[in-house]
Amino acid sequence: MADKQQTDPAPQWWSRPEGTAEAGRRDGVPAPRPDTGGADHVQDAAPTQDVPPQDVPTQDVPAQDVPAPGVSDLTPDVPAAVPAVRYDPWGAEPLQVVDRGRTPRGIGLWQVVALSLGTALLAGGIGGYLGVLAERRSSTRLELPQAAGAADRGRAPESVAGIAATALPGVVTLHVRGTKGSGTGTGFVLDQQGHILTNSHVVADSQEITVTFSTGESVTAQLVGRDSGYDLAVVKVSGVRGLHPLSLGNSENVQVGDPVVAIGAPFDLSNTVTAGIISATGRPVTAGGDKGDGSDISYVDALQTDAPINPGNSGGPLLDAKAHVVGINSAIRGADKEDATRQGGSIGLGFAIPVNQGKRVAEELIRTGRATHPVIGVTLDMDYAGDGARVGDKGEDGKPSVVADGPGARAGIRAGDVITKVDGQRVRGGDELIVKIRAHRPGDTLTLTVLRGGRESTLKVVLGSANGS
């Protein structure tokens, strides 16, 4: 508001600061008088001039208990009763009032709730952080229970882990590149000279052979020799030190139910270990025959196992509980081709070449590059549907079915004879007879049961020898 004098009602008299009233008043000038109510306002003291003293009448005003503020003690002649308080320019408080806004009210309920929530959240966060910090710095830590035992404790030699630890350094993976493409197989070290045994079908038509050891090191290998009739081959690496040849067992001692371990590279997954048992022995297995003339057919008197064997396992070792090789993994049996659900992998029927047969063939391949086959010198009728193996009426190119002066001829075998047993074991077809014969060495003597004209007889035959393919 503007700073101006208040004119309604008019002040009765002006008060001055202490010590100024008497000093400014000349002799003869009367003191200010109270307002009589008839004038609008009273002017300040007139200019100083000589004026004769006059009597100034006063108006009786009822006395008040509290003297009016602003009345100076310099006017003792003024009656105790004074008019209402007027604006005093020299007073302690000004007429103007400063607007300081609304008087603040008390804190509302929602403010209390918000403040409480904020405080709680802040306290919780600080408490959680301090708790985590204290847990991290504390010597006590959470530790789940664990079975006691030394972490580096070895495994029993006859356990699967023990067998694998013994054999893995001697097992290799073969990558073969040929004119028809590339493939993967497995092999194992035979001796310190670097000879490695594998399957013939792994290295067939090979142009380049790479051998990778369990350590991951790879070297180039050379083909020493192979025989498709036994599905066995030998390759050799040179300049490699620290080889770990595997120990060969005796496949004639293998019995059904014996635990076995297979090692290989199924689907190119090197150093894969599977375990199972010997589920059968003496299984006549034929494989190959892609050429159509029968020259590449393999005849194996196989060990049957349920240890998972898949493509890539071919040529790998089948080991007994002493980590001795008892077989060379060679083939698997899948679902029938006509079956829409046929599986490409193992269904629990794997077949391995007995190591006794593999040993003999490997020795011949290392010495001469070729293997010999035991024969009886006859041509079989492979279309015969009866029980047993029938000797054909004629041989190839119209020649006699029984080779003159051959092992069979010397034993008394004739054309049309049906061979039903070999060493007392029944033979159901021509393939089985070949398998049983090739399970032996040239020079071995076999006892054949022959059916001729409805009568059975036994004949002794000494196996001859023929060069393999």
- What average pLDDT does the segment 133-140 reach? 62
Given a cut of 80, whether residue 9 has pLDDT beyond it is: no
In which band, very low, low, confident or very high, does the pLDDT at 57 lie, cut at 50, 70 and 90? very low
The verdict on whether 88 is a catalytic residue reads no
Contact 334, 343 (CB under 8 A): yes
**DSSP letter (8 states) at residue 428:** -
Backbone torsions φ then ψ of 409, nearest 5 degrees: -65, -40
The first and second tokens of residue 193, run together, are 């000279």
pLDDT digits (tens, 9 = 90+) for 395-442: 888 899 999 999 999 999 999 999 999 999 999 999 999 999 999 999
On the question of pLDDT at 65 being above 90, the answer is no
Q: Which of 75-89, 177-191, 330-344 has the highest mean pLDDT?
A: 177-191
Catalytic option among 195, 201, 324, 440 = 201
Enter the tokens of residue 28.
């003869």
Dihedral sign for Cα atoms in the order 310, 362, 180, 212: positive
Mean pLDDT, to the nearest integer, of 201-207? 92
In the annotation, is 231 catalytic?
yes
206 pLDDT exceeds 70? yes
Name the pLDDT band for 295 (thresholds 50, 70, 90).
low
Positive or negative torsion for Cα 361, 363, 369, 370: negative
Q: For the segment 358-391, what is each residue's pLDDT rounded down to a tens digit?
A: 999 999 999 999 999 999 999 999 999 999 999 9
Q: What is the pLDDT of residue 70?
A: 44
pLDDT value of residue 140: 62
User: What is the Cα–Cα distance from 185 to 272, expressed in whole angstroms?
Assistant: 12
Active site residue 201: yes
Task: Identify the CA nearest to 326 among candidates 345, 297, 351.
Answer: 351
Residue 68 has pLDDT above 60, yes or no: no
Residue 211's SS3 state is strand
Kindly state the tokens that stand for 437: 């014969």
Q: Which one is predicted more confidently, 175 or 137?
A: 175
What whole-number distance in Å separates Cα of residue 73 and Cα of residue 19? 10
* CA-wise closest residue to 258 among 334, 345, 318, 300: 318
Q: Locate all alpha helices (DSSP H) within 290-392, ordered by sequence.
A: 355-368
* pLDDT computed for residue 197 by the predictor: 98
Most confident region among 77-81, 115-119, 410-414 by mean pLDDT? 410-414
Report residue 446 as tokens.
Answer: 């076999």
pLDDT greater than 70 at residue 183: yes
When pLDDT is averaged across residues 212-223 and rounded to a whole number, the result is 96
Of 22, 65, 40, the C-alpha closest to 32 is: 22
**How confident is the model over 95-119, as a mean pLDDT?**
67
Q: What tokens were used for 366?
A: 């290392």
| Catalytic choice (231, 296, 301, 320) | 231
User: What is the pLDDT, as a whole number, of residue 58?
Assistant: 47
pLDDT tens-digit profile of 323-338? 999 999 999 887 655 5
- Mean pLDDT over 172-201 rounds to 95
Q: State what percent of residues in the chain have pLDDT above 90.
A: 57
- The tokens for 124 are 């919780």
d(CA 66, CA 78): 15
How far apart CA 230 and CA 370 sit, in angstroms, is: 11
Q: What is the mean pLDDT of the chain?
A: 80
Q: What is the pLDDT at residue 185?
A: 96
Choosing from 314, 330, 346, 401, the catalytic residue is 314
- Given a contact cutoff of 8 angstroms between Cβ atoms, the answer to whether 186 and 265 are in contact is yes
Q: How confident is the model at residue 150 (pLDDT cuts 50, 70, 90)?
A: low
pLDDT at 361: 96
Indicate the pLDDT class of residue 63, thresholds 50, 70 and 90.
very low
Q: Per-residue pLDDT for 342 more than 70?
A: no
